Amino acid sequence: MRAGLGAAAAALLLLFAALGAQAQQQPRQPVLITAEAIEHDQETNIVTAVGRVELDNGTQILQADRVAWDPRSDTVRAMGNIALVQPTGEVLFADEVELTDEFRNGFVSGIRVLLADQSRLAAASAVRQGGTYTEMYNALFTSCSTCMGDRDPPVWQLRASKVTHDQVAHTVRYEHARLEFFGIPLLYTPFFTHPDPTIQRKSGLLAPTYGSTNALGATIETPYYLNLAPSRDATLTPFFTAKEGMVMKGEYRQLTPNGLFETRGSITRPWARDDDNLRLNERDTRGHVETSGLWTLSPDWRWGFTGSRSSDDTYLRRYEISDANVLTTNAFVEGMRDRNYAAVNAWSFQGLRQDDDPGQSPTVLPMMEYSRYSPTGRYGQYAVVDANVLAIHRSEGRNVMRLSSRAEWRLPYTSRFGEVYSMSASVRADGYAVDGQRETTAVPDQTVDGFKGRVLPRLALEWRFPLVRAGTNSDYMIEPIVEGIVAPYGGNPPLIPNEDSLAFEYDDTNLFGPSRFPGLDRWEGGPRINYGVRFGTYSARTAAHAMIGQTARARDDTFPAGSGLEKSPSDYVGRISVQWPTVDLEQRFRLDRESFSLRRNEVDLGFGPDDAKFTAGYVFLSEKIDPLDGPDGPEARREELNLTARVKLTQTWSINARSRHDLRENGGLMLAGLGLVYDCDCMRVGLELTRRLTEDRDVPRSTAISLRVNLRHLG
């Protein structure tokens, strides 16, 4: 509402101010007056400008058929086709304006205002009193100009019998206001008040939100905003549900001289339910909290935190707050200078899946990292030193402490023929202290405690030969790549646990590199050769590039069956990327080394113009990867398809759809949605039907119908 009648009231004040300043013709703000004639009555001392009158003070332009100034009664009157053009884009029209009492009081009739955002205001008349108080009568506001053609009345408009703007209190008050659609009143309120456009924040009710789901029934959110201070605010949001009672939500935000902090949460006390979603005869307190903060300590150092916690596994999904499966809490201090980096982190996790064991959830305290790059030498050589300290604690299961350090020397070199070489030599030393580690190669229930260390040297040489040919319309590139690595076998004794390398995947992103593992706990040993080729074509509007490669190893005792690296040479991995004006394709794949059949395939495809856009996301993992470390390893068997579509039917109407499918044998449709959208210059209406076919304990399958109406420039 502040962008509507409130802004129009401010524009009306500009008219009063402009007429006053222009009539006074103050020396510090000279006014250029042009007219067909200027008359001065010697008896009454009235000065009148007649015919195409224009007053220009450098920032505002006032036009009228006639402007008269009576110095004896201190009255300025403008009549006929009055128009005031503001530098911000607003244009105000009126039939007649009269100002008195040193321009503190006045009257305007026949008001029409065109705001900079193309919204419109009309009022029968307006009165200004005391230089700070303005009243508009029989006011009408709308931002519709093209919605559904040139209609009279517009699609929607706001009417009020009286609008009062108090410049001292900075408020705009409406009396007998009603919202009309196609000329039919749908909403009415006897009065309401909001801050004027000069106030950026003020406490008060915000627009409510309505909805309905089969789990919660009809719902309504009624947020109340609290302006606590220039640097602090809060929002309290009662969330009423027909089936589960009330949920109280809240949010608090604060700026400090060197950072910011915010937190949000919710709490409720519904009837308790069991894992089969059956209601129990007792109440249960449920809720969640999310918080984050970031502060600057110096130009090189900062610290902060993020945190999320829920009272139970299903609360966030049942009340449609979040679909997260894991909640993470992190606190950190980090510093960056040039290419050097240091950080101290603490982590904890809350698993929300049904089979998550809270006793097995790790608490990482601390995790310290340090990386330092030496200055570049005469031949481009440089050294890197890394250090890492990690301590993992569990209430049940193993506790681990790790100390790791690495030193590496690198030498890049480019020959005069364009060949690019990269040579490196590194040595890493790790030390582990383990409490309660389960021995994976012996009796399953046997536990082993103790200390273990390892020293891991590695030599690597990479060769690339990028070849580029410039064409008439496109450029072409081909780049063969060969990388040789020498490292000792072993390095993964049973006592050393696998904490940070469980999420292992062999693909194009780690084909060329010292290790396939994302962390430090697993070491890729043995001599090996990685080789592949990249090629592509590029133009001003299109690009297409691809790569494929594999690795060959003398032997391997590290990678499990199904990983693609269990045999030598390995499976082929690659990527295809295409960007055309109406096609965007990204594919990552892994091919069987012998049959060339797809073992992993990830495709993201988008095609069609903006008026008819379709996207598809497909993930295919052909087989389960055996665990890397007994029962703690990941399972990767998966096949899933995600589809979305948006088709613009007319200039204002469009339809959209989405679906998610589990293509495995016992899978099926997981989610489906269909929506209809009407979008024009002054409003957006969206109607959507969503069906979720997944369930988790007290989160049942659900069907939801939502209707969202957004009236632009209103609110």
Q: Per-residue pLDDT tens for 628-686?
A: 444 344 445 788 999 999 999 988 899 999 999 999 888 889 999 999 998 887 888 88
Q: Categorize the per-residue pLDDT at 67 as very low, low, confident or very high, splitting at 50, 70 and 90.
A: confident
Name the band, by pLDDT with cuts 50, 70 and 90, for residue 88: low
Report residue 27's pLDDT band, with 50, 70 and 90 as the boundaries: very low
pLDDT of amino acid 42: 82
pLDDT class of 350 with cuts at 50, 70, 90: very high
Task: Give the 3-state secondary structure of residue 19.
Answer: helix
Mean local confidence (pLDDT), 24-44:
71
Strand pairing partners for 153? none
> What residues have CB less than 8 Å from 213, skipping those under 6 apart?
219, 320, 702, 703, 704
Inter-residue contact 391 to 362 (CB < 8 Å): no
Residue found under tokens 């949460």: 265
| 91 against 314, higher pLDDT | 314
* Predicted pLDDT of residue 457: 96
Tell me which DSSP letter residue 16 carries: H
Phi, psi of 15 (to 5 degrees): -65, -45
Residue 710 and residue 683 in contact, taking contact as beta carbons nearer than 8 Å:
yes
pLDDT at 529: 96
| pLDDT mean over 405-410 | 96
Q: For 543-583, what is each residue's pLDDT tens digit?
A: 999 999 999 998 866 788 888 888 889 999 999 999 998 99
Query: What are 141-194's pLDDT values in tens digits?
Result: 787 875 655 556 788 888 889 888 787 777 778 889 888 887 888 888 898 776
SS3 (DSSP) at 24: helix
How far is 61 from 208, CA to CA, in rounded Å? 41
pLDDT of residue 542: 92
Residue 23 has pLDDT above 50, yes or no: no
Q: Which among 306, 264, 265 is positioned nearest to 285, based on CA atoms? A: 265
pLDDT of residue 425: 97
| Closest by Cα among 496, 505, 499, 497 to 519 | 499
> Beta strand 382-393 with 399-414: parallel, antiparallel or unpaired?
antiparallel
Q: What angle do CA 224, 230, 232 make, to 5 degrees?
A: 55
Q: Which token pair is 697?
A: 């304990």
Residue 321 pLDDT > 70: yes
pLDDT-derived band at 465, boundaries 50, 70, 90: very high
Q: What is the pLDDT of residue 468?
A: 93
Mean pLDDT for all residues in the chain = 85
* pLDDT score for 630: 42
Residue 515 confidence (pLDDT) above 60: yes
Q: Quote the pLDDT of residue 2.
A: 45
Among 5-19, 34-48, 196-210, the range scoring the smallest mean pLDDT is: 5-19
Question: Around Cβ 379, how many Cβ atoms within 10 Å?
Answer: 9
Whose structure tokens read 């999310």? 290
Q: How sure is the predictor about 714, in pLDDT bands with cuts at 50, 70 and 90?
A: low
**Spacing of C-alpha 16 from chain mean position:** 43
Q: Say what the pLDDT of residue 633 is.
A: 42
Average pLDDT over residues 613-622: 92
**Residue 443 pLDDT > 80, yes or no?**
no
Residue 522 scores a pLDDT above 60: yes
Q: Which two tokens stand for residue 233?
A: 């605010």
Report which of residues 468 and 130 the model is more confident about: 468
Does the pLDDT at position 372 exceed 90? Answer: yes
Give percent of the chain above pLDDT 70: 88
Residue 25 — pLDDT band, cuts 50, 70, 90? very low
CB atoms within 10 A of CB 695: 13
Find the mean pLDDT for residues 420-424.
96
